[in-house]
């Protein structure tokens, strides 16, 4: 009786060589097929709204941000209006997102910078965005990718940081290092989509505390050491 075929062992960390790039592409293709609806979860209508929503999303869920931004944008529909806002009024609107005083300063500071340097419009270049208060590289990547269609990099949030390492796509100590490795591993045309897919997969399947390894669409390609034990435990329930 022939031996049962087994999936090829997962690579611990994918190197940015031809083999690693093929495996990374296979991972993304599988995630794309499993999560075609994955997209930026922050509700927005334009680049201004996306910048402000992304600033608010720090240390806060996207769901909570989406509850707050309709009120914020109704009150301050553009950068000029927000630049003239009183801090205490903005704080009251965004209080439930946490760190509301610091975030209010960032929102008003960013809006003020947009008015002073860019005529109230959100610039479409990384170097201009990261000069604005409250805007770091992650926020700039989100805005450039989703508002301008510019593949400037890969936005690495907590989900991307966790999932990319579990899958074996990268190993690093900082989000910046994770992004650098992923950018070397993946084609530029897929950078923004990579972030969307990894975030969605992290929320729906590869959760931090209770990953659903038994139902994971990339189980056989994953490098997560505990995946077999977790899947087996789930099957016994």
The residue behind tokens 């992004």 is 179
Do the Cβ atoms of 149 and 175 come closer than 8 Å? no
Name the catalytic one among 89, 138, 220, 225.
138
Measured from the Cβ of residue 157, the count of other Cβ atoms closer than 10 Å reads 18
> Does the active-site annotation cover 21?
no
Cα–Cα distance for residue pair 83/74, rounded to 1 Å? 14
Do the Cβ atoms of 97 and 68 come closer than 8 Å? yes
Burial class of residue 205, CB neighbours in 10 A (0-12, 13-18, 19+): buried
Nearest one of 106, 115, 124 to 78, comparing CA atoms: 115
Nearest one of 129, 167, 166, 137 to 153, comparing CA atoms: 137
Cα–Cα distance for residue pair 191/128, rounded to 1 Å? 20
> Does the active-site annotation cover 29?
no
Name the catalytic one among 157, 196, 220, 236.
157
User: Phi and psi (nearest 5°) for 90?
Assistant: -65, -40
Cα–Cα distance for residue pair 47/183, rounded to 1 Å? 24
Q: Could you give the residue numbers annotated as active site? A: 138, 157
């Amino acid at each position: 009786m022939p031996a049962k075929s087994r999936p090829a062992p997962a690579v611990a960390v994918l190197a940015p060589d031809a083999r690693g790039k093929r495996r990374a592409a296979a991972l993304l293709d599988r995630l794309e097929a499993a999560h075609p609806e994955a997209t930026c979860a922050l509700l927005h209508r334009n680049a201004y709204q996306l910048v402000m929503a992304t600033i608010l999303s720090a240390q806060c869920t996207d769901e909570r941000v989406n509850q707050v931004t309709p009120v914020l944008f109704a009150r301050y529909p553009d950068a000029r209006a927000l630049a003239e806002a009183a801090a205490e009024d903005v704080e009251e609107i965004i209080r439930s997102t946490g760190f509301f005083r610091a975030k209010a300063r960032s929102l008003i500071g960013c809006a003020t910078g947009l008015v002073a340097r860019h005529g109230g419009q959100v610039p479409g270049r990384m170097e201009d965005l990261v000069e604005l208060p409250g805007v770091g590289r992650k926020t700039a990547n989100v805005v450039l990718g989703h508002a301008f269609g510019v593949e400037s990099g890969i936005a690495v949030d907590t989900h991307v940081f966790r999932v990319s390492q579990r899958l074996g796509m990268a190993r690093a100590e900082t989000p910046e290092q994770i992004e650098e490795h992923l950018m070397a591993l993946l084609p530029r045309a897929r950078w923004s989509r990579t972030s969307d897919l990894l975030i969605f997969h992290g929320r729906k399947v590869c959760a931090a505390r209770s990953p659903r390894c038994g139902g994971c669409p990339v189980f056989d390609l994953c490098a997560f050491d505990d995946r077999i034990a977790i899947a087996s435990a789930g099957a016994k329930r």
